[in-house]
């Protein structure tokens, strides 16, 4: 695990994003840029479907890598151990939930976890979540792009916690 980079925007704990074994570098780069712009943490839980060295993340995150508060976790067990020491609530964004992300009450210490683009998270990981939320959508649709989902929910969490 690497330590998150600190910058001037981080003055208080804000809702954060966690990507569980992301498959697509472009989505990760988009969320890396979003997190850098919003002054929030981004956690990447390995293994990813692409190389997560600084060179690849710099390409995916363009010139925002230096602004990012990025932490890479070797696996879910390492992430869980860190999360528990920080007393952070884990909120799983999933299509297998009934609680709308709009009706949910966020806290500054929340970590919003997104699963793999190809398969979400395994049941064992889902069971560790403190809460599960969904973006209501057209019943015929399968899912929303991970980066868009992360942006929508992080935006609502930041709005509710006055963290913009």
3 state SS of 155: helix
Q: Tell me whether residue 69 is in a domain.
A: yes
pLDDT in tens, 104-144: 999 999 999 999 999 999 999 999 999 999 999 999 998 89
DSSP 94-129: -SS--SBTTT----TT-EEEE-BTTTB--HHHHTT-
Between the alpha carbon of residue 158 and those of residues 13, 49, 62, 86, 141, the distances in Å are 11, 29, 24, 19, 27
pLDDT tens-digit series, residues 24-65: 988 998 999 999 999 999 999 999 998 877 666 666 555 777
* 51 lies in some domain: yes
Helix intervals (H) in 2-122: 25-38, 54-61, 76-86
Condensed to tens digits (0 to 9), the pLDDT of residues 89-108 reads 999 999 999 999 999 999 99
Domain containing 103: what range?
16-160
7 in a structural domain: no
Determine, yes or no, domain membership for 4. no
Looking at the structure of the chain, the number of domains it has is 1
Q: Is residue 32 part of a domain?
A: yes
Query: For residue 8, is it within any domain?
Result: no
Q: Which of 15, 7, 8, 12 is nearest to 31 (CA)?
A: 15
């Amino acid at each position: 695990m690497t330590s998150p980079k600190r910058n001037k925007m981080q003055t208080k704990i804000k809702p954060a994003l966690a990507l569980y074994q992301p498959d697509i570098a472009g989505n990760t780069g988009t969320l890396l840029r979003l997190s850098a712009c919003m002054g929030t943490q981004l956690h990447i839980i390995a293994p990813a479907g692409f190389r997560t060295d600084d060179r690849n993340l710099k390409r995916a995150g363009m010139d925002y890598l230096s602004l990012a508060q990025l932490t890479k976790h070797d696996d879910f067990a390492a992430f869980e151990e860190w999360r528990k020491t920080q007393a952070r609530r884990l909120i799983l964004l999933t299509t297998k939930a009934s609680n709308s992300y709009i009706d949910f009450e966020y806290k500054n210490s929340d970590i919003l976890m997104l699963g793999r683009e190809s398969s979400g998270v395994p049941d064992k990981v889902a069971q560790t979540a403190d809460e599960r939320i969904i973006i209501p959508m057209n019943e015929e649709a399968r899912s929303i792009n991970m980066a868009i989902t992360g942006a929508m929910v992080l935006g609502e969490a930041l709005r509710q916690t006055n963290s913009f």
